[in-house]
């Protein structure tokens, strides 16, 4: 993983921002930044870091010579942002001593890194040894692969259709993202000849109607695959020809069919029902309740 692409706060841009965002007093007096300010800004921008990825963790290694554990702050902010900050102060000058050369960087510093989604922010450790800070972030275990779940198709039932019909098309896989806003559903109903007034109550349900004349419930398979993909498949067989009978015209579709729909993130795949009645299959998917707004979270990491 290339962390250069996900770093939130680049040292170079941080320096430029600090050089531009001078204090109000400096802005008012039109004075240029002092040499001390520029030197401190360079110190903030020049905090080199290496990032390594292991099979079970991410490791951040940052050079911090001359700093003790108490001078360094490691935090995990909201949105999985790892923040490393602190300040390197200049040693107090003794009487009669003056600097002949000054190259060691001093001043405040800060580095930010956006952690990947599989980072376990509850399992972070930090160690500062010989002027090198090492922050280890454990990885979350990979999610278990979901097995396709078959939805029982009831052969009869009474239901109010709240979603517009999705007409069958040519045989073969067809993947479609469901747009479940009220306005979109009403527009589809109008376009497909449905009654827009019947498209109500969609705030809590997603319903898909599929025309399947001549098919029994046992001929239709409704499944939810990984990545919230709803799959409707089956096969429509041709009627057996009786002796002495022949087709004069053949327009009704036969053969295998499959339709795939990508369900929205708020679809509750554990609460899906299917009803086949009068040649129309209706699949109803309940929506999950809206998530609670996240509160800003800051995790302090103690440095050993």
What are the Cα distances from residue 58, in Å, to 170, 191, 240?
Answer: 48, 52, 64
> Is 105 a member of any domain?
yes
Are both 66 and 164 inside the same structural domain? Answer: no
pLDDT of residue 138: 93
* Co-location of 111 and 189 in the same domain: no
Q: Is residue 137 domain-shared with residue 18, that is, in the same domain?
A: yes
Phi, psi of 190 (to 5 degrees): -65, -45
Which pLDDT belongs to residue 42? 59
Domain residue limits at 226: 149-237+254-287
- Contacts of 201 by beta carbon, 8 Å cutoff, 6+ apart: 160, 162
Per-residue pLDDT of the chain in tens (304 residues, 90 and over written 9): 554 445 555 555 555 555 555 444 445 455 567 776 665 555 456 678 899 999 999 999 988 887 787 888 888 887 788 888 888 777 777 888 887 887 777 777 888 888 998 999 888 888 888 888 899 999 999 887 767 666 665 544 333 333 333 333 333 333 444 443 434 444 444 444 443 323 333 457 788 887 878 777 778 888 888 778 888 888 888 777 777 787 788 777 788 888 888 888 888 888 888 888 888 888 888 888 887 776 656 667 677 6
Do 74 and 145 contact (CB within 8 A), yes or no? no
Q: Do 170 and 271 fall within a single domain?
A: yes
Looking at the structure, do residues 12 and 120 belong to the same domain, yes or no? yes
pLDDT at position 148 is 67
> Are 7 and 53 part of one and the same domain?
yes
Q: Are 112 and 7 in contact (CB under 8 A)?
A: yes
pLDDT at 106: 73
The number of folded domains in the chain is: 2
pLDDT for residue 15 = 52
Q: pTM to 2 decimals? A: 0.47
Query: In whole angstroms, what is the distance from residue 198 CA to residue 162 CA?
Result: 6
Residue 56 included in any domain: yes
Q: Do 9 and 127 sit in the same domain of this protein?
A: yes
Residue 169 lies in a domain: yes
Instruction: Specify if 293 maps to a domain.
Output: no
Has residue 242 been placed in a domain?
no
123, 160: one domain: no
Q: Please indicate, yes or no, whether residues 188 and 265 belong to a single structural domain of this protein.
A: yes
Same-domain check for residues 279 and 183: yes
- The per-residue pLDDT for 59 is 94
């Amino acid at each position: 993983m290339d962390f250069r692409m996900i770093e939130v706060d680049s040292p170079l841009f941080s320096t430029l921002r600090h050089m531009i965002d001078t204090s109000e007093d400096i802005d008012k007096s039109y004075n240029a930044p002092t040499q001390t300010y520029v030197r401190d800004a360079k110190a903030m921008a020049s905090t080199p870091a290496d990032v390594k990825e292991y099979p079970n963790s991410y490791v951040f290694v940052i050079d911090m010579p001359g700093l003790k554990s108490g001078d360094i702050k490691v935090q995990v902010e909201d949105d999985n942002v790892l923040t490393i900050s602190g300040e390197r102060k200049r040693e107090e000058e003794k009487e009669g001593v003056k600097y002949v050369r000054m190259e060691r960087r001093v001043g405040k510093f800060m580095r930010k890194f956006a952690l990947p989604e599989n980072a376990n922010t509850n399992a972070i450790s930090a160690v500062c040894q010989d002027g090198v800070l090492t922050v280890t972030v454990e990885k979350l275990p990979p999610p278990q692969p979901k097995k396709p779940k078959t939805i029982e198709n009831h052969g009869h039932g009474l239901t109010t259709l709240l979603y517009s019909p999705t007409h069958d098309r040519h045989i073969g896989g067809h993947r479609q993202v469901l747009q479940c806003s009220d306005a979109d559903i009403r527009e589809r109903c109008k376009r497909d000849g449905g009654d827009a007034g019947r498209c109500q109550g969609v705030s809590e349900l997603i319903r898909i109607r599929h025309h399947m004349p001549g098919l029994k419930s046992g001929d239709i398979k409704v499944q939810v695959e990984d990545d919230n993909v709803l799959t409707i498949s089956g096969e429509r067989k041709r009627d057996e020809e009786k002796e002495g009978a022949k087709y004069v015209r053949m327009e009704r579709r036969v053969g295998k069919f499959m339709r795939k729909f990508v369900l929205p993130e708020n679809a509750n795949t554990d609460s899906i029902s299917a009803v086949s009645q009068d040649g129309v299959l209706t699949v109803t998917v309940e929506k999950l309740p809206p998530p609670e707004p996240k509160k800003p979270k800051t995790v302090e990491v103690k440095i050993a």
